Amino acid sequence: MEFEALDVPFEHRGARQAEQVELMRRLWTEDSLTFEGDYHTVTQAGILPRPTRPIPIWFGGGAPSVLRRCGRLGDGWVPVGVPNEKSRQALATIREAREAAGLPWDGFGVQAQAQTRGGDPERWKTHHDQWRELGCTHLAIVTHYVGHGTNVDAHLASAQRYYEAVAD
């Protein structure tokens, strides 16, 4: 529905996203710019204050075109899923796209998710280690399924139990 509101065909979402990444990176680094793209036109614009260091752009998703775009343009990937062969292949697609673009793998981030609910320390450790083996650099601990009405202390305790289970 949002693409209809933007008057952009849904099939153009990838190209539009790539153009937006280019435009934002230029706005973050140039004093003033004029940009004439397929989806955006910016005339003599700049932003102040500009960032003092590069802003990392991370992509989510698992479609091959998204993975290739992530490899060419991204600084990281947020997978949806589990550490399995499909995730391994997705990372290989990203790595190949980075190599083809002449970009290093070093410094590229991968942030997976871990649920605390429904698991136990042994399962958490296995999941953590499998993601690590695949090259995961960050792991978000999801505690919002701990229970309805759970207070902040319960969420923190759940995350702490997970951390203790996977800490080396």
**pLDDT per position as a tens digit, 53-105:** 999 999 999 999 999 999 999 999 999 889 999 999 999 999 999 999 999 99
3: Cβ–Cβ under 8 A, 6 or more apart, which residues?
A: 9, 10, 12, 13
pLDDT band at 122 (very low <50, low <70, confident <90, very high): very high
Taking alpha carbons only, the member of 108, 113, 114 closest to residue 93 is 108
Residue 115: is its pLDDT beyond 90?
A: no
Residue 145: is its pLDDT beyond 90?
A: no
Spell out where the chain has E strands. Answer: 33-36, 41-45, 58-60, 76-78, 109-115, 138-142
| pTM attached to this predicted model | 0.87
**pLDDT per position as a tens digit, 6-52:** 677 778 888 999 999 999 999 999 999 999 999 999 999 999 999 99
**Separation of alpha carbons 91 and 135, rounded Å:** 9
